[in-house]
Amino acid sequence: MPDFKLPFKLHIDASGDGLGAALHRVQLINDKPVEGPIFFISNQMEWLCLFWALEKLNYFLRGCAFEVITDFTTVKSLLNMKTPNRHMLRWQIAIQEYRGSMEIVHKDGNIHQNADGLSRWPLPNNIDNPAYAPEEASPQILIEQ
């Protein structure tokens, strides 16, 4: 079980192939969007990845201090965007609850490899995938340090 007194580090990355996130000390996740998101531009993909990771890992992150590590410098701009489109507005609203406990940190893409690898080789989210877990299943801790 993770120590909730220590801050978490959430590494995120998005690529044309999928989304990846590594919540250090706890869990690795990835997903391959079925449609739509692959047509987003780079910054929107990274914002989608942040929204997706916070949604998937909320049971660990809600109420805890944590850093979001990304190789995309504009992720912070989503929080203060004045005229977001409908997708970004939805993500912006969902992220608000983490604003006081989340710090977004930029890490150069050459050394940001854990989430990068997860985003480039996502497993299909379907019943044929042995790692697939439906939304209603209890969270599974994959990595613990």
Determine, yes or no, domain membership for 110: yes
Q: Quick check: is 135 in a domain?
A: no
In a domain, 109, yes or no: yes
Question: Is 2 part of a structural domain of the chain?
Answer: no
Do the Cβ atoms of 80 and 89 come closer than 8 Å? no
Q: pTM of the predicted model, to two decimals?
A: 0.68
User: With bands split at pLDDT 50, 70 and 90, how would you rate the model's confidence at 66?
Assistant: very high
Give the model's pLDDT for residue 124.
Answer: 55
Reported as a single tens digit per residue, the pLDDT across 87-135 is 888 888 988 899 889 998 887 766 655 666 566 665 555 555 444 444 4
Strand partners, 8: 66
| Domain-located, residue 145 | no
CATH code for the domain of 63: 3.30.420.10
Treating both helix axes as pointing N-terminal to C-terminal, what angle do 42-56 and 86-95 enclose, rounded to 10 degrees?
40
For residue 126, what is the DSSP state? S
pLDDT at 140: 42
Please measure the distance between the N-terminal and C-terminal CA atoms of the chain and give it in whole angstroms.
Answer: 9
> What is the pLDDT, as a whole number, of residue 129?
47
Range of the domain at 90: 8-120
Structural domain contains residue 143: no
| Residue 68 lies inside a defined structural domain of this protein | yes
Task: Evaluate whether residue 131 is within a structural domain.
Answer: no
pLDDT the model gives residue 98: 92
Q: Tell me how many domains the chain contains.
A: 1
Residue 130 is encoded by which pair of tokens? 């042995």
Cα 31 off chain centre by: 10
pLDDT of 49 over the 80 cut: yes
Average per-residue pLDDT for the chain: 74
Q: Is 90 left (phi over 0), alpha (psi -120 to 50) or beta?
A: alpha
